[in-house]
Amino acid sequence: MNRTNIFFGESHSDWLPVRGGESGDFVFRRGDGHAFAKIAPASRRGELAGERDRLIWLKGRGVACPEVINWQEEQEGACLVITAIPGVPAADLSGADLLKAWPSMGQQLGAVHSLSVDQCPFERRLSRMFGRAVDVVSRNAVNPDFLPDEDKSTPQLDLLARVERELPVRLDQERTDMVVCHGDPCMPNFMVDPKTLQCTGLIDLGRLGTADRYADLALMIANAEENWAAPDEAERAFAVLFNVLGIEAPDRERLAFYLRCSCRLFFLLIGTFRNLFSLRTPFPASFGKFHCQTGLLQSSRD
């Protein structure tokens, strides 16, 4: 039986498909535009439940994000129904408009980072991400087709070693500057009012958890790279973001680690978790240079 019939019953015609992916997950928008439904197969029920739990935890904590309307489990899978956040994805904005929306986007991310780490039951620490990469390599589960060209001839253990060399320093930084991270602050996950160009909220919070704040910052900066029309826009956005967040001296070395080194964890993991980033868009040509952090944060779900 069609999953939409299982979860929506006679009202299935009220729900319009938005997207589907290799994972088997499907997203639907209710006809009135005020709600979305995510349907996952049985094999991914736990991941969808993780997003549900995070949204429940976030309610009333000052973060503009969806609220859970309904949760349904069946033998075939699970369905999460959530409220819609108004606006358009920041990914749809021109560089000029994105720059205008950028300060409010930084404020929304800052609201997540200001949440209590001690009260957050979810974590996405670097050691855990690295541990999963080690497991994948030890099981020889890496798909070399998904490695960057420059790394295809490099032994996988060497790729891990490049990241491991920096781990002690980065883990110390993580311990002293840990925040609640969105986990996937890429442009499609910031909703923006197209008239006022103010960020209205955040979506896709299934990867939220405690981590180094630079994990989020690197992904946000990297993923916006495709939107900028000129290098000066990217430079202005960089300065604005750190100013909004009250960071007077950005740690460029730490940012570089999450932009460059961590991408190796992603490409090692993508052979197993190939369905994560590609559900939204194909890999852009500049992914290896600018989008490395996407993989680190998306290659594991709680």
- Please identify every residue annotated as catalytic: 184
Close Cβ partners of 276 (under 8 Å, ≥ 6 residues apart): 23, 270, 298, 299
Nearest-10 Cα torsion for 235, 241, 243, 249: -70
Instruction: Please work out, in degrees rounded to the nearest 5, the angle formed at the alpha carbon of residue 299 by the alpha carbons of 246 and 271.
Output: 145
What is the identity of the amino acid at 22? Answer: E
Question: What is the spatial distance between Cα 300 and Cα 296, in angstroms, rounded to a whole number?
Answer: 8
Question: What is the spatial distance between Cα 220 and Cα 290, in angstroms, rounded to a whole number?
Answer: 10
Residue ranges of alpha helices (H) inside the chain are: 3-8, 45-58, 95-113, 126-138, 156-164, 167-176, 213-223, 231-244, 252-256, 262-269, 287-290, 292-298
189 is in an annotated binding site: yes
Please, what sign has the CA dihedral across residues 68, 72, 80, 291? positive
204 is in an annotated binding site: yes
Instruction: Enumerate the β-bridge partners of residue 179.
Output: 211
Q: Are the beta carbons of 216 and 245 closer than 8 angstroms?
A: no
Three-class SS of 27-72: EEEECCCCEEEEEEEHHHHHHHHHHHHHHHHHCCCCCCCCCEEEEE
Cβ atoms within 10 Å of 65's Cβ, excluding its own: 24
Close Cβ partners of 207 (under 8 Å, ≥ 6 residues apart): 124, 182, 183, 184, 297, 298, 301, 302
Q: Could you tell me which residues are annotated as the binding site?
A: 189, 204
Q: Could you tell me which residues are annotated as the binding site for Mg(2+)?
A: 189, 204
